[in-house]
């Protein structure tokens, strides 16, 4: 039976065993930026070998869909040249992913799982089997069941093909592709931790929400709130640059002072919209039952990451309104185990690297 460890999503594209242990650079492509990370192993300990952030102009990628292949390829070529990159592991935008849970007979053979799932695809996703690429994870701890719970991740074939083409055209060897939230999970959930967590990635253009239970990515969604509202509010209100707006977000944020009343109110409005969106998913999960009528494991904690999770006061605000523990991720938790290495990326910036770190951490698929 297939292992329940992280496995290669879309393995079909990357079946070559000799690639499994090759060190690779994690490349996280967002609509407006690319983050990259590479680790090196020194005497069994990891060190940060490369990192970087490159901007992507508006319109090249829109909501995860590559619109201008040539422009993106050129950016990747530059990244390859600047950093001398060959092997990469990249992420796919969760806006384009369909994730669903289903059951398969417990005695099914490995070879048959794919065909059974293929048969079920149309029931769950608006794609025909011929235009979809999928992979799956069997949930752990169900040895004696007649039926096995499986989480299936599906992408339009066309989306995956474009991602493979840009790397190929840029002269890089793509070792794996996986859903963004899967990479983030590898970064922010401590290895071996089987708890149930909601993870919220507050990026520049979007907010990704996922739920991880028993080390399996079980749910993903992209929130509706317009992410850039926070920055735009500050830029408009204080007439400052975006860089200065970051400082205001990170230092003042949701903390009320004597002279920021109006700005505070506007930022609070945006934070309230985030909270309402998160709350919907949180409440829904907390009341879910499995096929036997038992409550699914409750969310113990919300872990936040992404550049905008730096917003001062955000964990406290979410925690007090949702009545659940909320904390910023320690993105190095699975990397530098002994506190003996101080990475060059400061803690504010590090939260933007959660996806790239998870990709770079993936050594065996």
Ligand X SMILES: Nc1ncnc2c1ncn2[C@@H]1O[C@H](COP(=O)(O)OP(=O)(O)OP(=O)(O)O)[C@@H](O)[C@H]1O
The token pair at 7 is 């496995």
Q: How far apart are CA 151 and CA 182, in angstroms?
A: 12
Nearer to Mg ion (CB atom), residue 56 or residue 268: 56
Query: With binding defined as CB under 6 A, does residue 182 bind ligand X?
Result: no
Token readout for 192 is: 């071996």
| The binder of Mg ion chosen from 8, 30, 137, 221 (CB under 5 A) | 30
Residue 249 within binding range of ligand X, rule CB under 6 A: yes
Is 310 a binder of Mg ion (CB under 5 A)? Answer: no
d(CA 159, CA 165): 10
Among 8, 9, 24, 30, binds ligand X (CB under 6 A): 30
As measured in angstroms, the least distance from the Cβ of 31 to ligand X is 5
In the shown chain, the binding pattern of residues 208 to 237 toward Mg ion, with x for contact by CB under 5 A and - for none, equals: ------------------------------
Exactly one of 210, 310, 334, 365 binds ligand X (CB under 6 A); that residue is: 310
- By CB under 6 A, which span of 67-75, 137-145, 242-250, 289-297 interacts with ligand X? 242-250
**Residue 343 in contact with ligand X, rule: CB under 6 A:** no
- Asked if 155 contacts 134 with a C-beta cutoff of 8 angstroms, the reply is yes
Q: Which residue of 91, 308, 334, 365 would you call a contact of ligand X, by CB under 6 A? A: 308
Closest CA to 209 of 249, 230, 179: 179
Angle at 247 between CA 243 and CA 250, to 5 degrees: 130
Query: 3-state DSSP call for residue 186?
Result: helix
Contact call for residues 178 and 358 (beta carbons, < 8 A): no
Binding footprint of Mg ion, residue count (CB under 5 A): 2
Minimum CB separation of residue 13 from ligand X in Å reads 23
**Cβ-based neighbour number of residue 291 at 10 Å:** 9
307 binds Mg ion (CB under 5 A): no
Q: Do 104 and 148 meet the contact criterion of CB atoms below 8 Å apart? A: yes
Q: Enumerate long-range contacts of 69-76, CB under 8 Å, 24 or more apart.
A: 69/162, 69/165, 69/166, 69/169, 72/29, 72/166, 73/166, 73/169, 73/170, 75/34, 76/34, 76/166, 76/167, 76/169, 76/170, 76/172
Out of Mg ion, ligand X, none, what residue 301 binds, judged by CB under 5 to 8 A for its kind, is none
Residues 282/285/287/292 CA torsion (nearest 10 deg): -170
Closer CB to Mg ion, 64 or 203, in the complex: 203
26 vs 203, beta carbon nearer Mg ion: 203
Q: Residue 358: in which H helix or E strand, if any?
A: helix 354-360
Given 6, 26, 27, 31, the residue binding ligand X (CB under 6 A):
31
- Single out the segment in contact with ligand X by CB under 6 A; choices: 66-74, 103-111, 291-299, 303-311: 303-311
Tell me which of ligand X, Mg ion, none is bound by residue 310, counting a contact when its beta carbon lies within the kind-specific cut-off of 5 to 8 angstroms.
ligand X
| 38 binding partner (options ligand X, Mg ion, none; Cβ < 5 to 8 Å by kind) | none
Which of ligand X, Mg ion, none does residue 349 bind (CB under 5 to 8 Å by kind)?
Answer: ligand X
Residue 232 found at the interface with ligand X (CB under 6 A) = no
In sequence order, the β-bridge partners of residue 355 are: none
Q: Is 328 exposed, middle or buried (0-12, 13-18, 19+ CB in 10 A)?
A: middle
* Contacts to ligand X by CB under 6 A: 30-33, 203-206, 227, 231, 246, 249-250, 306-308, 310, 348-349, 352
* Contacts to Mg ion by CB under 5 A: 30, 203
């Amino acid at each position: 039976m297939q292992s329940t460890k992280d496995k290669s999503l879309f393995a079909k594209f990357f079946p070559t065993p000799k690639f499994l242990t090759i060190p690779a650079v994690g490349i996280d492509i967002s609509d407006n930026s690319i983050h990259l990370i590479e680790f090196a192993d020194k005497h069994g300990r990891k060190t940060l070998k490369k990192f970087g952030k490159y901007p992507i102009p508006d319109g090249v990628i829109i909501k995860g869909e590559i619109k201008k292949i040539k422009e993106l390829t050129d950016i990747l070529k530059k990244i390859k040249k600047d950093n001398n990159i060959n092997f990469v592991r990249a992420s796919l935008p969760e806006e384009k992913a369909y994730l669903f849970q289903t059951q398969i007979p417990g005695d099914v053979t490995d070879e048959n799982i794919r065909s059974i799932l293929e048969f079920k695809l149309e029931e769950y996703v608006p794609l025909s089997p011929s235009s979809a690429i999928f992979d799956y994870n069997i949930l752990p701890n169900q040895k004696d069941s007649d039926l096995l719970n499986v989480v299936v991740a599906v992408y339009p074939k066309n989306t995956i093909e474009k991602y493979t083409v840009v790397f190929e055209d840029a002269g890089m060897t793509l070792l794996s592709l996986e859903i963004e939230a899967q990479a983030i999970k590898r970064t922010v959930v401590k290895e071996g931790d089987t708890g149930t967590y909601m993870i919220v990635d507050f990026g520049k253009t979007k907010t990704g929400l996922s739920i991880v239970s028993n080390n399996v990515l079980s749910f993903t969604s992209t929130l509706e709130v317009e992410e850039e509202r926070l920055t735009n509010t500050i830029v408009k209100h204080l007439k400052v640059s975006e860089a200065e707006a970051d400082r205001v977000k990170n230092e003042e944020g949701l903390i009320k002072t004597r002279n920021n009343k109006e700005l505070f109110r506007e930022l609070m409005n945006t934070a309230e919209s985030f909270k309402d969106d998160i709350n919907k998913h949180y409440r829904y999960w907390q009341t879910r039952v499995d096929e036997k009528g038992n409550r699914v494991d409750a969310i113990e904690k919300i872990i936040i990451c992404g550049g905008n999770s730096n917003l001062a006061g955000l964990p406290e605000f979410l925690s007090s309104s949702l009545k659940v523990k909320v904390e910023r991720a320690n993105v190095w938790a699975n990397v530098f185990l002994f506190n003996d290495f101080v990475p060059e990326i400061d803690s504010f910036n590090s939260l933007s690297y959660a996806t790239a770190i998870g990709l770079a951490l993936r050594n065996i698929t």
